[in-house]
Amino acid sequence: MSYIENFQERQRRIFGQLTSNMIKRKTAIRKPAPPGRRAFIAPWRLSYILSPKDQSCFFCEAACARNDETTFKKLLLLHRGPFGMVIMNRYPYTGGHLLIAPLRHTANLPALTTEESSYLWEFSRKSVDIIAKTMQAQGYNLGMNLGRAAGTGVEQHLHMHALPRWHGDTNFMHIVADTSTIPVCLEELWNRMRPLFQ
């Protein structure tokens, strides 16, 4: 008997024993359940979900904060200019999720000034470049959610999202294929990104 035939015979015996034991216990062999929707696991977001939601705007807090490195690090603020700011998302789905926003508290995209619009676009481009240099991402998401129906978390202060992406990370494949996320320490990432924004 060849090695393969021997292996196949052992498999048949084992399967036969398992089947016999299951029948004795009056249980049936069940086909595995078809893959269903799996939960997205992002445990670091729990503190955000459970925390009381105050009505203040963290973008406005960052816009008015003291201009020193300790304050910037506490707020995860990477850059603040005369017309806008870049801040790290404190509760990201993927590490390196940056938010680019005007300094002015507004949800009205068409009403942005030319300077605010220019800042948003230029620092969105710069954010993607810095994410590439620090995170070695395989792709990027760049976009806005305008209005509660679109999924925005901060409805009254518009902002652009810039996210690094990797094959099989937290995109829809995570939910469908049970792919895991890679956690990143926000403070360490701030330390690497901050000098590139200065």
| pLDDT at residue 165 is higher than 80 | yes
Any residues with CB less than 8 A from the CB of 44 and at least 6 apart, and which? 91, 183
* Domain total in the chain: 2
Query: Is 159 a known active-site residue?
Result: yes
User: Residues 111, 192: one domain?
Assistant: yes
CATH number of the domain where residue 71 is located: 3.30.428.10
Judge whether 193 lies within some domain.
Answer: yes
- Supply the pTM of this predicted model: 0.69
Could you write out the DSSP letters of every residue in 30-96?
-PPPPP-PPPP--GGGHHHHHS---S--HHHHHHHS-SSHHHHHHHTEEEE-SSEEEEE-SS-SSTT
Average of per-residue pLDDT values in the chain: 80
At 29-84, the pLDDT tens digits run: 455 545 555 555 566 556 656 666 667 899 999 999 999 999 999 999 999 999 99
**Residue 14 above 90 pLDDT?**
no
Active-site pick, 97, 157, 159, 161: 159
Please give the residue range of the domain that contains residue 91.
Answer: 43-197
Are the beta carbons of 74 and 66 closer than 8 angstroms?
no
Residues in the chain: 198
* Residue 179 confidence (pLDDT): 47
Same domain, 77 and 153: yes
179, with CB counted inside 10 A (0-12, 13-18, 19+), is: middle
- Give me the percent of the chain exceeding a pLDDT of 70: 64
- Pick 101 or 12 by higher pLDDT: 101
- The answer to whether residues 78 and 122 belong to one domain is yes
What pLDDT, on the 0 to 100 scale, is given for residue 189?
93
**88-105 pLDDT, tens digit each:** 998 887 889 999 999 999
Do 63 and 159 share a structural domain?
yes
Same domain, 94 and 8: no
Torsion angle in degrees (nearest 10) through CA of 142, 148, 150, 152: 20
Same domain flag for 18 and 108: no
Domain membership of residue 154 (yes or no) is yes
Predicted local distance difference test score (pLDDT) of residue 149: 87
Task: Tell whether 107 and 161 lie within a shared domain.
Answer: yes
Q: Let me know whether 96 and 167 are in one domain.
A: yes
